[in-house]
């Protein structure tokens, strides 16, 4: 493995984000939601996931979805 490998740190948050992305994508494909709504929701979910990671790196108290792998194994 490389030194810069990342791992999923908070599995429940990652699962919720993944399920949300899948559901919105399916609703968009079935044309239940309009394209603009699909893009807005997907952007929000991805932005939330990225924002959690950035906040955690700046020292704010947030459990990120994705982070560096712990070396304390």
16-70 tens-digit pLDDT: 889 999 999 999 999 999 999 999 999 999 888 887 777 666 766 666 666 766 6
Looking at residue 63, its pLDDT comes to: 64
> Which pLDDT score, from 0 to 100, does residue 2 have?
59
The answer to whether the pTM exceeds 0.85 is no
Using the predicted structure, report yes or no on whether residue 10 has a pLDDT greater than 80: no
Give one DSSP letter per residue of the chain, joined into a string.
--TT-EEES-HHHHHHHHHHHHHHHHHHHTTSS-HHHHHHHHHHHHHHHHHHHHHHHTT-S---SEEEPPS--
């Amino acid at each position: 493995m490389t030194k810069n490998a990342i791992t999923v740190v908070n599995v429940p948050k990652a699962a919720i984000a993944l399920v949300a992305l899948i559901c919105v994508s399916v609703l968009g494909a079935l044309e239940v939601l309009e394209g603009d709504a699909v893009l807005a929701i997907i952007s929000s979910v991805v932005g939330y996931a990225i924002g959690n990671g950035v906040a955690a790196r700046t020292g704010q108290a947030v459990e990120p979805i994705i982070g560096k792998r712990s070396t304390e194994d």
